[in-house]
């Protein structure tokens, strides 16, 4: 019961709601957690970790993501999306496509972004969205996020259809809001779908109406793609499972840094760090239980 599920989250549910539904597919007390909150309005890829794979949540959360979204220009919202109280911008000037393209260039790269007030971030120990619902001011500080590309697929006032490739912690609602500010007309997210998290795509996603008996977990190794790895012999793995440092005397190329130790079947046994030049000393940091 250790592995990953790619859920195609429906609209109208929180990420926690999804976890609660998935929990019913597994024996009681099975550890389950999601990797990156999706707003109730949003649909698409939500990677759920099962059992020991919950220890890999940070690796999945750090992966790049892709979103398809429809922005509504000429309006603002209390939540920066269509779920909030929407206010039309009076006498809004309709921006040209050229003006939109020029404005979007300022969003690319490592940029400072202020999260929406209605978010799960904490401020003095309280969730920002809880404070916002109480009518309190939510002075969230700007954070550095990475936005790789914003592709415009269609523009027919007031709707702008885009696809965004970005890094961890990027709020698409903030992009819509800030784009509207730059254009002087206001902006919000009308629809949002996460199409990719790292190697996990919406096409892989299963619905919450799936037959639990037919659900197969993806291996834990799928959560650490891009990390150098090797299949190790049984004796090395035995010592690693006991928390011991081991010397990996193999021609692995330059593997200094993070390293994934696999068994002969390709199952993830441990994550840790390697040091050295020709012979690498592997220091395990996370060791996973042996399948039984």
Domain boundaries, the chain: 3-63+199-221, 65-197, 226-287
pLDDT of res. 262: 92
Q: Measure CA 142 to chain center.
A: 19
Distance in angstroms (rounded) separating the CA atoms of residues 201 and 219: 15
User: 65-197 architecture in CATH?
Assistant: 2-Layer Sandwich (3.30)
Domain pair 3-63+199-221 / 226-287, same fold: no
Specify the range with the lowest mean pLDDT, choosing from 6-20, 28-42, 46-60, 267-281. Answer: 267-281
The region that residue 251 occupies, defined by phi over 0 for left and psi between -120 and 50 for alpha, beta otherwise, is beta
Task: Find the catalytic residue in 8, 17, 39, 211.
Answer: 39
Average pLDDT over residues 132-139: 59
Distance in angstroms (rounded) separating the CA atoms of residues 79 and 86: 9
Quickly list H helices, the chain. 15-23, 57-61, 97-104, 128-133, 172-183, 234-241
Whether 73 shows a pLDDT value over 90: the answer reads yes
* Cα angle value 255/53/244 (rounded, 5°): 50
pLDDT of res. 247: 87
**Structure tokens belonging to residue 95:** 């921006």
User: 226-287 architecture in CATH?
Assistant: Roll (2.30)
pLDDT of res. 239: 94
Task: Say which CATH topology domain 3-63+199-221 has.
Answer: Pseudouridine synthase (3.30.2350)
Residues 6+ apart with CB under 8 A from 77: 83, 84, 85, 86, 87, 188
pLDDT of res. 22: 94
- Kindly indicate the confidence band of residue 69, based on its pLDDT and cuts at 50, 70 and 90: very high
- Kindly indicate the confidence band of residue 63, based on its pLDDT and cuts at 50, 70 and 90: very high
Q: Hey, what's the torsion of the CAs at 72, 116, 64, 61, to 10 degrees? A: -140
Average pLDDT over residues 75-79: 93
Active site residue 39: yes
pLDDT of res. 122: 60
Decide if 197 contacts 65 (C-beta within 8 A).
Answer: yes
Q: Percentage of the chain with pLDDT > 90?
A: 69
Cβ-defined contacts of 27-36 (< 8 Å, 24+): 27/1, 30/1, 33/57, 35/60, 35/61, 35/197, 36/60, 36/61, 36/65, 36/168, 36/197
pLDDT of res. 111: 97
**Structure tokens belonging to residue 179:** 């784009």
């Amino acid at each position: 019961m250790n592995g990953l599920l790619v859920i195609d989250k429906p609209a109208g549910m929180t990420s926690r709601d999804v976890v609660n539904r998935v929990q019913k597919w597994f024996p009681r007390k099975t550890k389950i957690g999601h990797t990156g909150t999706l707003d109730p309005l949003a649909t698409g890829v939500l990677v759920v970790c099962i059992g020991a794979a919950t220890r890999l949540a940070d690796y999945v959360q750090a992966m790049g993501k892709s979103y398809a979204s429809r922005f509504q220009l000429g309006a603002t919202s209390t939540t920066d999306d269509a779920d909030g109280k929407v206010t039309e911008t009076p006498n809004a000037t309709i921006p040209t496509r050229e003006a939109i393209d020029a404005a979007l260039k300022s969003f690319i790269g490592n940029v400072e972004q202020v999260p929406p007030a209605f978010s799960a971030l904490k401020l003095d120990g309280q969730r920002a969205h809880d404070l916002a619902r109480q009518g309190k001011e939510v002075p969230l500080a700007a954070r550095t996020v990475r936005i790789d590309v914003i592709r415009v697929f269609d523009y027919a006032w007031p709707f702008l259809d885009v696809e965004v490739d970005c890094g961890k912690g990027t709020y698409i609602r903030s992009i819509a809001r800030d784009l509207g500010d730059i254009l002087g007309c206001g902006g919000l997210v009308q629809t949002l779908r996460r199409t990719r998290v790292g190697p996990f795509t919406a096409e892989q996603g299963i619905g919450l109406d799936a037959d639990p008996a037919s659900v197969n977990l993806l291996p834990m190794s799928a959560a650490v793609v891009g990390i150098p790895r090797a299949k190790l012999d049984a004796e090395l793995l035995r010592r690693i499972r006991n928390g011991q440092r081991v010397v990996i005397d193999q021609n692995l190329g330059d593997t200094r840094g993070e390293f994934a130790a696999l068994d002969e079947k390709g199952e993830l046994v441990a994550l840790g760090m390697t040091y050295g030049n020709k012979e690498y000393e592997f220091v395990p940091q996370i060791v996973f239980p042996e399948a039984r």
